[in-house]
């Protein structure tokens, strides 16, 4: 099964926030750390699949991170994007719909300059699959070190985020992007506003 533990409901209950809207908290804090968003075994399995896919296909980088292998809507990550949609809406107390998924295998020297994402990334999740070194993710001025399977839920187009140059050899990460059903960026549902489908 692709998605095991329903982390969102567990988190929701553990904080005794039944009836509250986590989206309100997210608006204040800009990000929420999600421990064990997926389990470690699944993270490693997805990393195996995606890294092999990139090696076999000779997948190159994107403009933001040219040294990486980067891919848009890799099928298993699209499934993860869709599988998590309902639980994420429930967790936030706010309906969300999928925009797209993206993934990278970062290599030595890769970094991410401080930036915010486009509005199609209104509600974003960055989930760590596997790496050969720890590599802090900085969001809204705070440093987060993710374990395999852990994720950060953040407001992609509000919370500035970046990474310093990677000193290891390989670090694999998947991104799941959503927009709110009743929000101002809904027209990006299924990434319908995207014009460049080359990647
Ligand atoms: Fe970003």
Distance 114 CA to ligand 1 centre (A): 8
pLDDT in tens, 118-147: 999 999 999 999 999 999 999 999 999 999
H/E segment holding residue 62: none
Q: May I ask the CATH class of domain 33-57+69-182?
A: mainly beta
105-114 pLDDT tens trace: 999 999 999 9
Q: Which residues are in the CB-under-5-Å shell of ion ligand 1? A: 117
Domain residues of the chain, as ranges?
A: 33-57+69-182
Distance 19 CA to ligand 1 centre (A): 31
DSSP calls for 66-88: TTSEEEES-HHHHHHHHHTHHHH
* Cα 16 to averaged position of ligand 1 atoms, centre (Å): 31
Give the pTM.
Answer: 0.90
């Amino acid at each position: 099964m692709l998605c095991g533990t329903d982390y969102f409901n567990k988190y929701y209950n553990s904080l005794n926030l039944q009836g509250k809207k986590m989206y309100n908290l997210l608006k204040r804090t800009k990000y929420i750390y999600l421990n064990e968003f997926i389990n470690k075994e699944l993270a490693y399995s997805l990393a195996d699949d995606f890294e092999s896919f990139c090696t076999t296909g000779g997948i190159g980088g994107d403009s933001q991170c040219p040294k990486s292998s980067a891919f848009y809507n890799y099928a298993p990550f699209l499934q993860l994007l869709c599988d998590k949609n309902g639980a994420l809406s429930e967790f936030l107390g706010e309906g969300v719909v999928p925009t797209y998924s993206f993934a990278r295998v970062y290599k030595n020297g890769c970094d991410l300059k401080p930036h915010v994402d486009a509005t199609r990334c209104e509600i974003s999740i960055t989930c760590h699959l596997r790496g050969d070194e720890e590599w802090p993710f900085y969001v809204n001025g705070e440093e987060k070190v993710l374990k395999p399977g852990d994720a950060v839920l953040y407001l992609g187009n509000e919370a500035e985020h970046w990474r310093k140059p990677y000193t290891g050899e390989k670090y694999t990460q998947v991104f799941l992007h959503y927009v709110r059903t009743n929000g101002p960026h809904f027209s990006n549902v299924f990434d319908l506003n995207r014009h460049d489908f080359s990647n």
